C-alpha cells in the first residue's frame, strides 16, 4: 500500500480540518472546579471540548463513547486487538502577554496561534483526521483503533486512571503530545511533601524569628521568587547589609526592606522546568543559603538547616543520598518547587524527584524519610508515577520508526526524556510527535503555536502509522 500519498490525502482535507480545529481551540477547556458536575468532573468547558470531539466522530460515522466526562474515545475498525492513540482536550491556563486572543485562533505567517494549538488539540485533531483518512479510503484493517481523549492531562491525570479502570488497555499505542521522532523512555516521578509540625512552645528572646518563608507555586517548576519575613530584636541595619553583601557575592537579585514590625527579604531567581532543576536559579534555595548565617529561633533554624543540608547545591539527589543515573534517561533530579513556612504553624516543602528507569521508588522514599526524620520532618502526600520504557525491538517501535523515516527522510532517533507523557499510562506505548526536531517548544507559553505545514506532516505520519499498526 505504499502507493498511498498520505500527505496529499491530508491536503485534500486541510480546510475542513482547520475549520474543525479552530472551533475546538475556541473552547476554553481549562480545569475549573467551580463548574464541575457529574457529566463534566473537570468543569463545563473541558466537558464541552470532549463532547465536541465525540460529536464530530459520531457525525462522521465512528463509534464513540463518553466515559463519564473523565475521558472518551472514537473507535474505528474491527478485530480482537486494539491500537490506542492518546490525546488530551484540556489545556493549561492562557497566562498574559498574548499577541492575539488565546482562545480566538489566529493564523499569521503559516502558524496557527492559540492555547492548545500544539498541546494538544492540534495534534489530537490531526490524529482524528488520520483516522478519517483511513476510513474514507476504505483501507482494510484487522484491528480496532481508538483515539482516546483525556480531560485532565495538564493537572492530575485522573482521566486516564478512570478510563483504564473502565475500558480495555490497548495492546499498543502512541501519544501525539511531545516530540518526533519517538520517545521510548521516561523517568519515574515521585512528588511529595516534606512536612513538619510546629512544636515550638512560644516565642522567646531570639535575635531573629523566622516568621514566614514562602516560594513557588508548582512542584514541577523552579521557583523564581522567594520571600522571608523576620521579626525579633536583632540589628536591622546590620542584617540589611548582610543581605546586600550576599546578593553581591552570589551575583543574584533581591532586596531587604523594613516594614512596621518585620524585615522582609526577597530573592529573585530564574524559573525553569522542574525536569532540569540545575538550569534555573532556585530562589528559595538561595534564600535558605543566606538565612543559614542568621541566628534564628529553633524551629526556623531547623527548617533552614534542613534545606541547606539536603537540598541546596544538590539537584541530583547527592545530599539526600539518592543520586543515581542510567544511560537511557540520565541522572535522577530533585526539584524543590514549593516552600511554605509560618512561625508556629505546620510547614512543608513540595519536592519532585525524577528517577532513572531502573530506580526503586521505595528505596528512594525510604532514604528521604530517614534523612528528613533527622530534622523532625516526615514525608507525606506521595504521588508516584513509575518510570516508563518501551523495548526498542518491539514491533510498535519498528513500525513507527519506519513510517517516520519513510515520510521525513530523516533517521528516527529513539529519545528518552525526564518529562511525563500519556505514553506511560499504556502498557506498551511511546510518545510520537508532534514537535519536529529543531522546532521551538511553544507548549504552555504565551503565543503557543503550531506551524500548519508541521501539523499536516504530522497528520500524514499519524495516518500511515495508524494504518500500519492496524492493518
Ligand atoms: Zn500535552
Mean pLDDT of all residues in the chain? 95
User: Is pLDDT at 2 greater than 60 in this prediction?
Assistant: no
Give the pLDDT confidence of 263-280 residue by residue, as tens digits. Answer: 999 999 998 888 899 999
CA of 152 to the centre of ligand 1 (A): 10
Whether residue 90 lies in the annotated active site = yes
Cell reading at 234: 536583632
Instruction: Judge whether 201 lies within some domain.
Output: yes
Which of 355, 385, 415 terminates a domain? The answer is 385
Q: Are residues 41 and 164 in the same domain?
A: yes
Instruction: Judge whether 20 lies within some domain.
Output: yes
Give the pLDDT confidence of 53-84 residue by residue, as tens digits. Answer: 999 999 999 999 999 999 999 999 999 999 99
Q: Are residues 323 and 433 in the same domain?
A: no
Catalytic-role residue among 119, 120, 152, 153:
153
CA of 118 to the centre of ligand 1 (A): 8
Contact predicate 345/214, CB 8 Å:
no
CA of 5 to the centre of ligand 1 (A): 29
User: Is pLDDT at 126 greater than 60 in this prediction?
Assistant: yes
Q: Are residues 213 and 358 in the same domain?
A: yes
CA of 171 to the centre of ligand 1 (A): 22
Q: Are residues 199 and 297 in the same domain?
A: yes
Give the pLDDT confidence of 209-220 residue by residue, as tens digits. Answer: 999 999 998 898
User: Is pLDDT at 23 greater than 50 in this prediction?
Assistant: yes
Instruction: Judge whether 1 lies within some domain.
Output: no
Q: Are residues 236 and 180 in the same domain?
A: no
Categorize the per-residue pLDDT at 206 as very low, low, confident or very high, splitting at 50, 70 and 90: confident
Instruction: Judge whether 17 lies within some domain.
Output: yes
Cell reading at 225: 521568587
Cell reading at 227: 520571600
Q: How far apart are CA 95 and CA 102, in angstroms?
A: 9
Q: Range with the lowest mean pLDDT among 119-128, 141-150, 195-204, 312-321?
A: 195-204
CA of 57 to the centre of ligand 1 (A): 21
Catalytic-role residue among 9, 28, 90, 451:
90
Share above pLDDT 90 across residues of the chain, in percent, rounded to a whole number = 88
CA of 442 to the centre of ligand 1 (A): 11
Q: How far apart are CA 404 and CA 398, in angstroms?
A: 10
Q: How far apart are CA 39 and CA 308, in angstroms?
A: 47
CATH code, domain with 269? 3.30.70.360
What's the confidence (pLDDT) of residue 328? 84
User: Is pLDDT at 187 greater than 60 in this prediction?
Assistant: yes
CA of 370 to the centre of ligand 1 (A): 35
Q: Are residues 110 and 139 in the same domain?
A: yes
Categorize the per-residue pLDDT at 418 as very low, low, confident or very high, splitting at 50, 70 and 90: confident
Q: How far apart are CA 447 and CA 454, in angstroms?
A: 17
Q: How far apart are CA 347 and CA 143, in angstroms?
A: 53
Q: How far apart are CA 148 and CA 22, in angstroms?
A: 20
Q: Range with the lowest mean pLDDT among 52-56, 179-183, 442-446?
A: 442-446
CB count in 10 Å sphere of residue 432: 33
User: Is pLDDT at 1 greater than 60 in this prediction?
Assistant: no
CATH code, domain with 176? 3.40.630.10
Q: Are residues 230 and 348 in the same domain?
A: yes
Cell reading at 275: 525536569
Nearest to 213 by CA among 352, 349, 373: 349
Categorize the per-residue pLDDT at 374 as very low, low, confident or very high, splitting at 50, 70 and 90: very high
* Between 198 and 121, residue with greater pLDDT: 121
Cell reading at 420: 511525563
Q: Are residues 273 and 323 in the same domain?
A: yes
Average pLDDT of the residues in 102-130: 97
Contact predicate 206/326, CB 8 Å:
no
Q: Are residues 115 and 200 in the same domain?
A: no
Q: How far apart are CA 330 and CA 123, in angstroms?
A: 28
Q: Are residues 277 and 360 in the same domain?
A: yes
CA of 237 to the centre of ligand 1 (A): 49
What's the confidence (pLDDT) of residue 379? 98
Q: Are residues 22 and 162 in the same domain?
A: yes
Q: How far apart are CA 226 and CA 286, in angstroms?
A: 9
Q: Range with the lowest mean pLDDT among 64-73, 116-125, 238-247, 381-390?
A: 381-390
Instruction: Judge whether 222 lies within some domain.
Output: yes
Contact predicate 58/64, CB 8 Å:
yes
What's the confidence (pLDDT) of residue 323? 98
What's the confidence (pLDDT) of residue 226? 97
Average pLDDT of the residues in 452-456: 98
Q: Are residues 91 and 216 in the same domain?
A: no
Instruction: Judge whether 40 lies within some domain.
Output: yes
CA of 423 to the centre of ligand 1 (A): 11
Total count of domains within the chain: 2
Which of 333, 357, 385 terminates a domain? The answer is 385
Give the pLDDT confidence of 85-95 residue by residue, as tens digits. Answer: 999 999 998 88
- For 332, the domain range is 189-385
Nearest to 375 by CA among 286, 317, 309: 309
Which of 351, 385, 419 terminates a domain? The answer is 385
Whether residue 468 lies in the annotated active site = no
Q: How far apart are CA 233 and CA 295, in angstroms?
A: 11
CA of 111 to the centre of ligand 1 (A): 19
CA of 103 to the centre of ligand 1 (A): 17
Categorize the per-residue pLDDT at 159 as very low, low, confident or very high, splitting at 50, 70 and 90: very high
What's the confidence (pLDDT) of residue 201? 66
| Residues written for the chain | 471
Average pLDDT of the residues in 373-386: 94
Amino acid at each position: 500500500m505504499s502507493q498511498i500519498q498520505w500527505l496529499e490525502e491530508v491536503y485534500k482535507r486541510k480546510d475542513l480540518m482547520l475549520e474543525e480545529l479552530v472551533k475546538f481551540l475556541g473552547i476554553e477547556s481549562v480545569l475549573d472546579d467551580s463548574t464541575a458536575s457529574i457529566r463534566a468532573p473537570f468543569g463545563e468547558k473541558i466537558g464541552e471540548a470532549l463532547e465536541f470531539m465525540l460529536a464530530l466522530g459520531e457525525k462522521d460515522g465512528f463509534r464513540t463513547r463518553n466515559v463519564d466526562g473523565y475521558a472518551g474515545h472514537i473507535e474505528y475498525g474491527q478485530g480482537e486487538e486494539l491500537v490506542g492513540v492518546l490525546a488530551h482536550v484540556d489545556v493549561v491556563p492562557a497566562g498574559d502577554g498574548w499577541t492575539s486572543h488565546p482562545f480566538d485562533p489566529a493564523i499569521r505567517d503559516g502558524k496557527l496561534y492559540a492555547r492548545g494549538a500544539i498541546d494538544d488539540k492540534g495534534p489530537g485533531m490531526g490524529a482524528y483526521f488520520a483516522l478519517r483518512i483511513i476510513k474514507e479510503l476504505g483501507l482494510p484493517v484487522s484491528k480496532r483503533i481508538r483515539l482516546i481523549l483525556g480531560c485532565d492531562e495538564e493537572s492530575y491525570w485522573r482521566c486516564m486512571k478512570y478510563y483504564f479502570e473502565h475500558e480495555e488497555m490497548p495492546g499498543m499505542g502512541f501519544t501525539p503530545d511531545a516530540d518526533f521522532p519517538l520517545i521510548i523512555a521516561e523517568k519515574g516521578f515521585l512528588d511529595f511533601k516534606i512536612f513538619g509540625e510546629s512544636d515550638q512552645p512560644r516565642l522567646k528572646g531570639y535575635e531573629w524569628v523566622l516568621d514566614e518563608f514562602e516560594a513557588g507555586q508548582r512542584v514541577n517548576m523552579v521557583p523564581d521568587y522567594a520571600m522571608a519575613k523576620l521579626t525579633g530584636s536583632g540589628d536591622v541595619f546590620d542584617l540589611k547589609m548582610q543581605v546586600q553583601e550576599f546578593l553581591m557575592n552570589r551575583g543574584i537579585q533581591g532586596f531587604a526592606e523594613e516594614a512596621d514590625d518585620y524585615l522582609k527579604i526577597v530573592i529573585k531567581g530564574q524559573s525553569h522546568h522542574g525536569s532540569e532543576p540545575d538550569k534555573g536559579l532556585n530562589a528559595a534555595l538561595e534564600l535558605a543559603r543566606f538565612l543559614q548565617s542568621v541566628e534564628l529561633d529553633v524551629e526556623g533554624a531547623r527548617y533552614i538547616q534542613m534545606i541547606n543540608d539536603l537540598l541546596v547545591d544538590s539537584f541530583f539527589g547527592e545530599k539526600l543520598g539518592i543520586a543515581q543515573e542510567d544511560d537511557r534517561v540520565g541522572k535522577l533530579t530533585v526539584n524543590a518547587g514549593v516552600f511554605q513556612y509560618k512561625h508556629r504553624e505546620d510547614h512543608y516543602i513540595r519536592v519532585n524527584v525524577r528517577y532513572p528507569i531502573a530506580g526503586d521508588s521505595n528505596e528512594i522514599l525510604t532514604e528521604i524519610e530517614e534523612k528528613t526524620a533527622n530534622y523532625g520532618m516526615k514525608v507525606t502526600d506521595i504521588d508516584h508515577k513509575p518510570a516508563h520504557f518501551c523495548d526498542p525491538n518491539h514491533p510498535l517501535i519498528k513500525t513507527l520508526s519506519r513510517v517516520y523515516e519513510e515520510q521525513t527522510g530523516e533517521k528516527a532517533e529513539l529519545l528518552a526524556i525526564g518529562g511525563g507523557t500519556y505514553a506511560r499510562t499504556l502498557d506498551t506505548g511511546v510518545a510520537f510527535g508532534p514537535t519536529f526536531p529543531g522546532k521551538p517548544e511553544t507548549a504552555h507559553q504565551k503565543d503557543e503555536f503550531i506551524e500548519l505545514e508541521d501539523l499536516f506532516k504530522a497528520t500524514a505520519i499519524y495516518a500511515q502509522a495508524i494504518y500500519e499498526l492496524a492493518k
